[in-house]
Amino acid sequence: MVSSIGSYSTAQTGNAVAFKAASATELVSDASKNQGASGTQGGGTLTISTLASQLADSASRAEARDKMLSRSELADKANSLLDQILGDAYQANKAKYNNEVPKTDDPELLARAKQATEFVTSSDRGSRSVKNPFGSLSREQLSNIIYDDSGNYTINERRAAYYESDDREQAWRVKVAAQAMDEYNRTGKMTNFFSSVLDHFKELPTIEQAQYPKDYASDLESKISRDFNYRTHQAEGKSENPMNLIEMLFAQSPLQTDELFQKKNITESPTVRSNT
């Protein structure tokens, strides 16, 4: 899964404490609108919503997980966690998850879990008549819910968070694709498009970046550097010999570059990875 830009990034700050403080303060005003939690500051006291506290804990767990696992291990972990809320594992236990109730007597948590299930059930029928309880969260916060299997959230809460994240990703893709076509029609190039995709990728949470090919960012950087014109078939940038780009792209391939050229005729073409 690839999703849209978020407001917070532990990968960028490397500071879970800073994230906790920011998310907690932010959610006093934002999350309380959806959750019924109130945040007031006066006489030196501050009331933090339950969701804010949960997100702070999730951010700490995410940071620890990302530091502990390698890129490939993180990708495998992500696939396993997504299967819990999207794949066969979810479908096999759908009735169970629809009846899942948090182990708490906190009315806020109980109400949110119920709303998440109603939203997911409605969405799976093709309707969005029920409001997503996580609609106001940042991209990073949504990711922290999706990939948190600590039991801090119900399965349907994680699924609801995924739906919101995916909605934003699809909206971004529609927008950037339109910009790409406009750029190509005007200039014959897609350099700005590649730059937008790279910026988007760099702002994704670490666990989502891990689901892309290892050379995804370097591939985009090379395309940007080449400033290739697909009408004239000329690289107008200041990059190195095109052969260097080919060698870089296939550095991890079992085939050597010279062997590859003996078997295939490589041509430049504008491509972008589709990750659904």
Give the Cα-Cα-Cα angle 257, 262, 263 (nearest 5 degrees): 100
Query: Do 71 and 142 fall into the same domain?
Result: yes
* Residue where a domain terminates, one of 168, 189, 222: 168
In a domain, residue 39? The reply is yes
In a domain, residue 4? The reply is no
> Is pTM, for the whole model, over 0.75?
no
As beta bridge partners, residue 46 has 41
Query: Do 19 and 156 fall into the same domain?
Result: yes
Structural domain harbouring 177: 172-263
Q: Are 5 and 29 in contact (CB under 8 A)?
A: no
- The Cα–Cα gap between 16 and 64 comes to 9
Give the Cα-Cα-Cα angle 24, 99, 137 (nearest 5 degrees): 25
Query: Do 149 and 73 fall into the same domain?
Result: yes
Query: Do 207 and 97 fall into the same domain?
Result: no
Q: Are 207 and 71 in contact (CB under 8 A)?
A: no
Torsion, CA 63, CA 65, CA 66, CA 70, rounded to 10: 160
* Positions of the chain with pLDDT under 70: 1-48, 238-276
What is the model's pLDDT at position 2?
A: 37
DSSP character string of 166-210: HHHHHHHHHHHHHHHHHHHHHHSB-HHHHHHHHHHHHTS-HHHHT
Q: How many CB atoms lie within 10 A of CB 220?
A: 22
* Residue where a domain terminates, one of 142, 168, 194: 168
What is the model's pLDDT at position 51?
A: 87
| Average pLDDT for the chain | 77
pLDDT tens profile 40-74: 444 444 446 888 999 999 999 999 999 999 999 99
Query: Do 105 and 242 fall into the same domain?
Result: no
